[in-house]
Chains A and B, each alone.
Chain A
Amino acid sequence: MWHLFVGDPGSLKYINVMQQSPLYLDVTGGRWPPRGTPFTINGRTRTPPYYIVEGIYPRYEFLMSPHPKPSTEEQTTFNRLLEAIRKDVEQLFGVLMKRFYVELHPGRHHSVSQLVRKFKDI
């Protein structure tokens, strides 16, 4: 787990949450990711690495979402690979909940939520 941002009101949407999160602010402010981490796709070298997200996120350079309506073989394969990797973050919350049952129950206070998660990393 490399980033955790807790405490936004539940009425927000994923996109609002992302735009408030320190990760987003760091990426747009140029503080993250560190420079000089190029990668190569199909023989082309690109610089900013990306995060894999769901389809509803906006199309930014550092976010990669699956094809909304995959029609060709290539797109289906791409989506399959993407989902295979996205799986781990989907499972993350399940693992946390399994480990500390406090999370199963409705939370008592704001700040506690962050504290509980801390446990996973010990």
Chain B
Amino acid sequence: MDGPEEEFSSTAALLADDDGADVAAVVHAHVNVLMAVRRRARARRIARRRQYHGSTAGRRGNKRRDFSAGVHNILREYFGVGGLPPIYDERDFETRFRAPRAVFRNVFLAVKNEPLFQQRHSATGKLQAHPLQKVVAALRVIAYGEAADRADEYVRLSRTVISQSTKLLMEFMVRLWGPTYLRRSNQDELNTIMERKKERGMPGCMGSLDCCHWEWHQCPTGMEGAYQSRKCKRGIFVEAV
């Protein structure tokens, strides 16, 4: 009976003459130790976490997409293969890609050696997709506004690759040609504009200013209040001259 009683009394004594600062210090030290342990464990977990390397064990296998068939399709239909003329003519070309052949060629040549677009080998030495496929798929998405996996059967690329290449292609274009085409007019162009407007009865006019809405499908709920227009739709403004 001695032991517990003594223990009890010692605890009581400790409680009796504890002062807040001591306890706080102990608790603080303990919390610090706990946090350090957790931090170390988290760092170790992150270090152990594997980067995504594409095809790995335990994941769904790659589909046997015939990349060369995709390139062959595109070449046969729009550029001609083996001395044969292409199946579709210039008009179809422009409908499909919303750009004449010369523009398409410029885009393709510019983008051909970008990191995502260039042709690579897989780990097994197989040739991967051709840049032409990626450019065509990206332009399809932009021109027709279709889902990324819509062109899968035709260009033979997965939807991940198509959506990635769409994004990168647009970024690349803005980076490369944005400063050339999206800019203020210079003095000569301004003079031409004003001359033309003068002929139409409005001397001194530089153009007209207008806004329009572009609906935003993926608007986060938290931002709905700010982005809701008077027509009760989430969207952003586009102002143009």
Contact = CB atoms under 8 A, between A and B. Distances in A.
A75 interface: no
B236 A113 contact: yes
B184 A2 contact: yes
B181 A105 contact: no
Contacts of A86: 208, 210
A41 B184 CA distance: 25
Interface string A1-39: 111111111111010011001010000000011100101
A12 B184 CA distance: 25
A81 B237 CA distance: 27
B197 interface: yes
A91 to B, nearest CB: 10
A93 B194 contact: no
B206 A51 contact: yes
A116 to B, nearest CB: 7
Contacts of A14: 211
Contact of A89 (B144, B210, B235): B210
Contacts of B211: 14, 17-18
A116 B194 contact: no
Contacts of B98: 99-100, 119
A1 B182 contact: yes
A71 interface: no
